[in-house]
Amino acid sequence: MNHMIYLKDVTTLKLDAGKCIGCGMCTEVCPHEVFVITSRKAEIINRDACMECGACQMNCPAAAISVTVGVGCAAAVINTMLGRESGSCCCVIESPDSQPECGTVSQKTGCC
């Protein structure tokens, strides 16, 4: 697979090699081949290809992977495909009581 690169050095993806049990689940579920198994441990080989979908984190039985889902390019791609005005990766809007609220569509920015 060609390795896509979204934005350099912005992904929230982290791997705790000390927790990794080398099961290889991350290599199976990652759509962009970000991981490989080397010496019975996962290794990130292409961090910038991560689209922050969260599949690796959700499927890691050892909780060795963390990624903030939806803050990166995956959210921007989805927003654009849904025809929203902004392809930005934000999720915060003003709620009626003026407190930030995540997960709803902003009328001001068009993001989710």
- Residue 105: which of 79, 68, 67, 74 has the closest Cα? 79
Residue 101 has pLDDT above 50, yes or no: no
pTM score: 0.61
Using an 8 Å Cβ cutoff, are 35 and 56 in contact? yes
**3-class SS at 66?**
strand
Q: Tell me: the pLDDT tens digits for 14-47?
A: 999 999 999 999 999 999 999 999 999 999 999 9
Domains of the chain: 14-66 (3.30.70.20), 78-112 (no CATH)
Which residue, 54, 52, 25, is CA-closest to 41?
25
